[in-house]
Amino acid sequence: MIEHSYVNSISRLGHMLDWLPAPLGSILVLMFAAGIALLSSRIITDALPRLPGLRRIQFIHAIIARLRAPIRNGLMIIAASAALQATIGFTDATTSFLEQIFICLFILNLGFGIIRTFRLLTDQYLTRISAKEHMDDITVRSHQTQIRVLRRLIEISFGVLTVASSLMVFHSVQKFGVSLFASAGAASLIVGLSARPALTNLIAGIQIAVTQPIRMEDMLILNGDWAWVEEINATYVVLRTWDRRRYIVPISYFLENPFQNWTHSSPSLIASLFLWLDYQTPVDRLREMYFEELAKCPDWDQDKTSIGCQIADSNAQVMSIRLIAGAPDADAMWNLACDIRERMLRRLRLEMPECLPRGRTAIVSGAPDQNAWPDALVAPPVNRPQDGPYRGPDMPGSPPTAMPGRA
């Protein structure tokens, strides 16, 4: 009944524009119908959230805000397609073509509206799990990785199906699809070879979502740089370095190459630093000093089982002292190592300056014609003959070595 009255109203409007050329009048009728639908959709989307029962429901506000454009476009397409039945200025071929156009636009609008709704639901779920206090960081990042990667794959697949369904409305595309299906073997081979990199990355994205060698906000080492996983897309990963640079890496890289993931099982890490000190350093006193300064560091995770102060190495001049302590994450680990190094060097400079590394030089006094080294440091003398070139030591019980040309 409503549709019949609407068609009658559009017909009367068309008769009012009889003085214009028929195609122009029909176009104005369609534009008028679309404008009325646009105005109606604005009223509906603006008034619906203000209803008393829906005013406090944040999800209704979010879904209306996200679907405002698809709702308006859908109402405009429906109104224009309904008005098309009342126009008399188009030929049958033009009317049929416009009907196909409206059906195609309606399918596209509906499909991408469903994609927007799906994205809104997944965003709401991610927000909810991120707000839960009892969930650990690994679980949250695991859910984020799975949902973001699988969501992009689903959106790409559904988008391709939506575009294909909308194009199948046209008869020429249907004939092309039938011929393509008939030669599916050769076509699939050609498409597979040309799209091999994209397909490889798509399959790698599914493997990343399932096995999760990397997750959102994981800390990786790539080309010697610290980098955090900022985005995981369907075909590539965005890594954020400490100095705000970005690495764009194909997602298949993380399945084909080894890399370091410092936060795969736990975000906590152990900070390690080395101090090169003199051999006169009292290690017991140094260890007490280290424990005193570590208790003042705000980035220490208070885990006493992971701390240590040991002689790790030594050479001819100094010995290497390794200091270790636990930190809750990678940022805190770096800050903790720098903080401990600064505190220990300050204490050593003020309280035990003799522990700082120094060079050693031996200065021995003596006359110029005397041997500058003490006798204890010189190798024992060798019995060498005085009357000719040295031919080697004489063996016990053998006569002295005779020199050629001498008696």
Between 243 and 83, the more confident residue is 243
Confidence band for 344, pLDDT divided at 50, 70 and 90: very high
HSE on the CB side for 313, CA within 13 Å?
7
Task: Write out pLDDT tens, residues 111-164.
Answer: 888 888 888 888 888 888 777 766 667 778 888 888 888 888 888 888 888 888
Q: What is the pLDDT of residue 171?
A: 78
> ∠ CA(214), CA(215), CA(220), 5° rounding?
55
Residues 181-198 have a mean pLDDT of 60
Confidence band for 349, pLDDT divided at 50, 70 and 90: very high
Q: Which strands sit side by side in the sheet containing 319-327, from one edge to the other?
A: 269-277, 319-327, 308-314
Annotate 249-269 with three-state secondary structure.
EECCHHHHCCCEECCCCCCCE
Residues 278-289 have a mean pLDDT of 92
Residues 227-231 have a mean pLDDT of 90
Bridge partners, residue 322, by sequence:
274, 310
Max Cα-Cα span within the chain:
148
Mean pLDDT, the chain, whole residue set: 75
- Please give the share of the chain, as a percent, with pLDDT higher than 90: 18
Between 252 and 58, the more confident residue is 252
For residues 47 and 41, what is the distance between their CA atoms, to the nearest angstrom? Answer: 10
Q: Which of 145-154, 270-279, 361-370 is modeled with the greatest confidence?
A: 270-279
| Buried-state track 77-111, b at ≥16 Cβ within 10 A, e below 16 | bbbbbbbbebbebbeeeebeebeebbebbbbbbbb
Between 201 and 369, the more confident residue is 201
Q: What is the pLDDT of residue 401?
A: 46
Confidence band for 390, pLDDT divided at 50, 70 and 90: very low
Q: What is the DSSP letter of 304?
A: G
Confidence band for 196, pLDDT divided at 50, 70 and 90: low
Between 170 and 228, the more confident residue is 228
Q: Which of 65-79, 155-169, 253-267, 309-323 is modeled with the greatest confidence?
A: 309-323
Lowest mean pLDDT among 4-13, 124-133, 247-256, 306-315: 4-13
Residues 335-339 have a mean pLDDT of 93
59, amino acid identity: F
pLDDT of residue 375 exceeding 70, the answer is: no
For residues 33 and 40, what is the distance between their CA atoms, to the nearest angstrom? Answer: 11
This prediction's pTM: 0.58
Task: Write out pLDDT tens, residues 2-27.
Answer: 445 545 555 554 545 454 444 555 55
- Centroid of chain to Cα 91: 56
End-to-end CA distance of the chain: 146
For residues 78 and 405, what is the distance between their CA atoms, to the nearest angstrom? Answer: 126
Between 176 and 223, the more confident residue is 223
